Amino acid sequence: METIVQEKDTNKRIDIFLMEQEDLSRSKIQKMIETKMVLVNHHETKSSYKIKEGDIITWEEYTEEDMNIEPEDIPLDIVYEDEDVLVVNKENGMVVHPAPGNYKGTLVNALLYHSKNLSDINGEFRPGIVHRIDAYTTGLLVVAKNNKAHEHLAKQLEEKTTYRKYVALVWGVVNTDTGTIDAPIGRDSKDRKKMAVTDVNAKDAVTHFKVIERYSNATLIELRLETGRTHQIRVHMNYIGYPIVNDPVYGHRKLIDDSGQCLHAKSLGFIHPKTGQYMEFTSELPTCFQSIIRTFKGEDNL
């Protein structure tokens, strides 16, 4: 469903506005917002957002179901932990947080089992989650164990002071040793489930890359993010003609196997919210990624 905000509704909270549109309780509306069932101008929003004239609000019809998120004893690769933060090396295929139709097996389910102390700023579906990576992207995430730590880390992300380095294998031979992609990203007008480089309802997005190694028809690259848009690396590399190998959405090539896209969040650096000290962590490429690299090194006919 979709509506355009009229002048008479300007400055209303979006949850209150939607209560007027749908015969639903405020708590259910807020859960819809938390689980990204509500978009403003094709972007995620918060319950506290005050709507403006001309805003395009879209929402999915609410389906009543069990919304409880249960702790699950799922092994976690914890790189670092103290009373304020936790750094985890996420495995391939693990969704970060629950969403409608997918309430089990996520990183959040595992975190709830591991720790009773997680921030609740992002609501009950995303306790502790400060930032995300895609299900089939592997690598490092920082989790906040209290609200003060969460606010501090979120501010660093907003001010672009965190350090995030990725490694990716892309189709094609990248000729330049380094490069910067500065292209805004927004919702794909033809497919709302995808993102695209666009000037319509988009946000600035900047990705820096450096070549690590070239093969006959692929390139191993290192990437550093200035911004953190949804699917940013995948969209940007596809935009310049070098899509991520094994990417089922933006790859435009047959999948080599079902091990997930060749994109790994290798390094993560931030200022500790309590001590003020800079901390940086690194992780090795997962076995599935290394296996595909070996395939490219040994076979030129892919």
CA atoms of 247 and 122, how far apart (whole Å): 28
pLDDT in tens, 8-43: 889 999 988 888 777 677 777 887 888 788 899 888
Average pLDDT, stretch 41-68? 80
CA atoms of 85 and 153, how far apart (whole Å): 9
- Give the distance, in angstroms, between the CA of residue 273 and the centroid of all CA atoms in the same chain: 22
CA atoms of 141 and 23, how far apart (whole Å): 38
Is residue 60 scored above 50 in pLDDT? yes
Helices and strands (DSSP H and E) totals, the chain = 6, 14
| pLDDT value of residue 154 | 92
| pLDDT value of residue 101 | 66
The residues facing 206 across adjacent strands are 182
| pLDDT value of residue 300 | 44
Is residue 299 scored above 60 in pLDDT? no
SS3 30: helix
Report the candidate in 174, 90, 135 with the shortest Cα–Cα distance to residue 261: 135
Helix 14-21, helix 26-34: angle, nearest 10: 120
Is 134 labeled as catalytic in the residue annotation? yes
pLDDT in tens, 147-206: 999 999 999 998 989 999 999 999 999 999 999 999 999 888 888 778 999 998 788 999
The chain-wide mean pLDDT, for the chain, equals: 89
Asked which of 37-51, 62-76, 271-285 is least confident by mean pLDDT, the reply is: 62-76
Is residue 301 scored above 50 in pLDDT? no
CA atoms of 121 and 116, how far apart (whole Å): 15
CA atoms of 160 and 164, how far apart (whole Å): 10
Choice among 15, 134, 199, 300 that is catalytic: 134
pLDDT band at 63 (very low <50, low <70, confident <90, very high): low
Report the candidate in 181, 178, 238, 179 with the shortest Cα–Cα distance to residue 204: 181
CA atoms of 128 and 121, how far apart (whole Å): 8
Average pLDDT, stretch 34-57? 88
Is residue 253 scored above 60 in pLDDT? yes
The residues facing 214 across adjacent strands are 219
The pairing of strands 78-81 and 85-90 is: antiparallel
pLDDT in tens, 120-142: 887 777 899 999 899 999 999 99
pLDDT in tens, 101-120: 677 889 999 999 999 999 98
CA atoms of 149 and 65, how far apart (whole Å): 32
- Give the distance, in angstroms, between the CA of residue 56 and the centroid of all CA atoms in the same chain: 23
